[in-house]
């Protein structure tokens, strides 16, 4: 089934768990069969693209703490739990 997927991920085409998906919709020819249906589809697509742009600019405005800091917090927590169980 054909799909339209709009994400706010400028780096990769792979969807990760943290990738915001703004639109994920199955599309059929009926969605383009009338002017009204096509206008509604394009309107939903425009909203999703606008939301994706906003999400990307919000991400660019945040200071880059990156995934490295999150990983070190996770691994420190794992070591603590392991030490408590031993």
Q: Are 3 and 26 in contact (CB under 8 A)?
A: yes
Q: Which residues pair with 3 in a beta bridge?
A: 26
Q: Check residues 60 and 21 and name the one with the higher pLDDT.
A: 21
SS3 65: coil
* Phi, psi for residue 67 in degrees, rounded to 5: -80, -20
Between residues 13 and 34, the one the model is more confident about = 34
Mean pLDDT of the chain, nearest integer: 74
The predicted-structure confidence for 2-29, as pLDDT tens digits, reads as follows: 999 998 876 666 666 677 888 999 999 9
Positive or negative, the CA dihedral 60, 41, 25, 33 is negative
Work out the angle at residue 37's Cα, subtended by the Cα atoms of residues 13 and 14, and round it to the nearest 5 degrees.
5
Q: How confident is the model at residue 64 (pLDDT cuts 50, 70, 90)?
A: low
| Least confident residue range of 22-26, 36-40, 66-70 | 66-70
Higher-pLDDT residue of 86 and 33 is 33
Rounded CA-CA distance 79/33 in Å is: 59
């Amino acid at each position: 089934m054909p799909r339209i997927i709009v994400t706010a991920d400028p780096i990769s085409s792979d969807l990760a768990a943290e990738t915001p998906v703004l639109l994920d919709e199955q599309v059929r020819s009926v969605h383009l069969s009338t002017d009204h249906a096509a206008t509604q589809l394009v309107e939903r697509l425009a909203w999703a693209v606008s939301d994706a742009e906003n999400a990307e600019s919000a991400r660019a405005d945040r200071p880059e703490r990156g995934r490295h800091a999150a990983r070190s917090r996770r691994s420190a927590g794992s070591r603590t739990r392991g030490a408590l169980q031993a």
